[in-house]
Amino acid sequence: MRRASLFLSPGDVADGILQGHLLVAIDVLRASTTICQALVAGARDILPVAEIEEAKRLAESLGQENTLLCGEREGRIIPGFDLGNSPLEYPSEKVKDKTLVMCTTNGTALLARLKGVETVIAGFVNAGAVVRHLGSLKGDMAVFCAGLHGGFSLEDAVCGGTIVAGLESRLARRERVLLSDGALAGKALFQRWGKNLPGLFKVAHHARYLASLGFERDLAFAARMNSLPVVPVYREGRITSLKN
Ligand code: MLT
């Protein structure tokens, strides 16, 4: 038997939970999705940071040739940065073999809090790959939603439900997965929205905000379930693809 917990807002992250669990971090719109795209496009690694000034200092210390400064505030590219947080800005021609220093409002802020503890990054685009990876490991799992400004966001909760329900069904024949109340809530939301992600993105708050900025194509991109079968792993301050 193993336990699967889903923490629906970042305020729920507590140090005691971090040790001894397989950790997963989710920010569907858009940090997780963009990280998956960047790695599939050949980025060498991604260094997530919480603050803009910290990102600038880190990028400067790495030298400009192979480093890109990436991120957003209020959904828009940060002035002076090379790339924003749209997955469509991360084709191979721009990011192959580059180190990306990434600073986003909720997603990389959550990762900065998880620094030092190995964490897998998930969105809808790589949910199946993450479930397969977790199913191949032993141990209890804790899934953290980046949420929105410290609170709940519907798309992250649905994605968390996708992961816990996926693990439960993958292990069904060999091991019982005991779901926490948060995981049960996420699973119920997955059952409601999992087959209608475009519909989810019509009602979810941050999705509507991104659409109002003209990022509708990002929503379509983020809704493509299992389109990017990559497992980004955050360890020792760097995100790389599992096979690296
Ligand atoms: C975040 O980390 O807050 C998001 O990825 C925001 C966004 O760019 O949509």
DSSP for 57-76, please give it.
Answer: HHHHHH-STTEEEEEEETTE
How far from each other are the two terminal CA atoms of the chain, in whole angstroms? 30
Q: How large is the average pLDDT for residues 119-148?
A: 97
pLDDT of residue 42: 98
CA–centroid distance, 30 to ligand 1, in Å, is: 5
85 in ligand 1 pocket by Cβ < 6 Å? yes
Which ligand 1 atom minimizes the distance to the CA of 107?
Answer: 2
CA–centroid distance, 84 to ligand 1, in Å, is: 10
pLDDT of residue 19: 82
Read off the tokens for 124: 């809808």
Whether 38 has a pLDDT exceeding 70, the answer reads: yes
Residues in a beta bridge with 145 = 26
Whether 35 has a pLDDT exceeding 80, the answer reads: yes
CA–centroid distance, 75 to ligand 1, in Å, is: 6
Which ligand 1 atom minimizes the distance to the CA of 108?
Answer: 2
Q: How large is the average pLDDT for residues 182-211?
A: 98
pLDDT of residue 17: 77
For residues 237 and 97, give the distance between their C-alpha atoms in angstroms, rounded to a whole number: 18
Mean pLDDT of the chain, nearest integer = 96
Which ligand 1 atom minimizes the distance to the CA of 215?
Answer: 9
Tell me the whole-structure pTM to 2 decimals: 0.97
